[in-house]
């Protein structure tokens, strides 16, 4: 009886060790995948010129939204990333504010637009700048617009704070680590909320920017004009 009990104890111990090993193995695999995804994100940001960002004193750009060939919205921005001073000129109004200061309701609403427009301008940098995110990658995925097989990286925002809690972006990139298209999924839904292309790349002071984005039906166009980057002296 004692021998049987001892044998069962040994079997239980071995089984427990195996389960612990599997759990640790799974954890190690997850960490490895996450690390690989972060490395890919860094490559994408480097390819877009993030190493030159520290040399930027000020950036100016116009964010334009077109519908059916007509421009329906233009926001003209001036941003000093060192001080976080922001200026918006739109519809004849000028709004100035500092992102590190307490914002009133108008400034807060303006800042939502600023965050959105900067995200479109330099999404590669946001992959490594933004906190509270989970980044994963998948190889050889079918892109939603071109139907090409492209590698994909997904950035998922957690449910705490920020302007896009719980939202996800699937980004499809080519072998040169350049964005080709992306799909935005509100609240991490399985259904795509919006997808656009990334075209007309321009490199200004070492920063590479896709200046033109189209939805699959070509009805909505988001593009950038009057981009000016002023370097530190």
pTM: 0.84
**DSSP structural state of residue 14:** H
Q: Exposed, middle or buried by CB within 10 Å (0-12, 13-18, 19+), for 168?
A: buried
Query: Is residue 143 within 8 Å of 180, Cβ to Cβ?
Result: yes
CATH of 28-231, one of 3.10.450.50, 3.20.20.150, 1.20.1260.10, 2.50.20.10: 2.50.20.10
> Which of 230, 196, 189, 232 is closest to 213 using CA atoms?
196
Task: Count how many residues are written for the chain.
Answer: 233
Q: Where are the domains of the chain?
A: 28-231
Encode the chain (233 residues) as per-residue pLDDT tens digits: 545 444 445 445 555 555 555 555 555 555 555 566 778 999 999 999 999 999 999 999 999 999 999 999 999 999 999 999 999 999 999 999 999 999 999 999 999 999 999 999 999 999 999 999 999 999 999 999 999 999 999 999 998 766 889 999 999 999 999 999 999 999 999 999 999 999 999 999 999 999 999 999 999 999 999 999 999 98
> Mind giving me the DSSP string for 53-79?
GGGEEEEEEEEEEEETTEEEEEEEEEE
**DSSP structural state of residue 103:** P
Query: Is residue 164 within 8 Å of 184, Cβ to Cβ?
Result: no
Q: Angle at Cα 228 formed by Cα 162 and Cα 39, nearest 5°?
A: 50
Query: Is residue 188 within 8 Å of 156, Cβ to Cβ?
Result: yes
List CB contacts of 204: < 8 A, sequence separation 6 or more: 227, 228, 229
Query: Is residue 63 within 8 Å of 74, Cβ to Cβ?
Result: yes
List CB contacts of 183: < 8 A, sequence separation 6 or more: 144, 169, 170, 172, 192, 193, 194, 195
> Which of 58, 71, 69, 169 is closest to 124 using CA atoms?
169
């Amino acid at each position: 009886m004692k021998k049987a009990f001892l044998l069962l104890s040994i079997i239980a111990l071995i089984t427990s060790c195996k389960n612990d090993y599997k759990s640790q193995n799974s954890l190690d695999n997850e960490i490895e995948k996450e690390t690989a995804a972060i490395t890919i994100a860094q490559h994408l940001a480097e390819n877009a010129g993030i190493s030159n960002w520290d040399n930027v004193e000020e950036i100016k750009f116009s964010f334009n939204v077109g519908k059916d060939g007509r421009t329906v919205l233009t926001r003209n921005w001036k941003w000093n990333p060192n001080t976080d001073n922001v200026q918006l000129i739109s519809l004849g109004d000028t709004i100035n504010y500092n992102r590190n200061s307490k914002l009133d309701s108008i400034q807060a609403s303006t800042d939502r637009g600023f965050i959105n427009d900067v995200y479109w301008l330099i999404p590669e940098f946001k992959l490594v700048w933004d906190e509270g995110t989970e980044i994963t990658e998948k190889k050889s995925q079918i892109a939603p617009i071109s139907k090409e097989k492209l590698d994909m990286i997904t950035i998922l925002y957690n449910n705490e704070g920020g302007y896009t809690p719980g939202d996800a972006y699937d980004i499809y990139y080519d072998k040169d680590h350049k964005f080709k298209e992306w799909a935005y999924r509100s609240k991490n839904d399985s259904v795509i909320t919006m997808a656009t292309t990334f075209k007309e790349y321009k490199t200004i002071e070492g920063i590479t920017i896709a200046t033109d984005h189209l939805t699959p039906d070509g009805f909505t166009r988001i593009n950038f004009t009057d981009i000016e980057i002023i370097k530190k002296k």
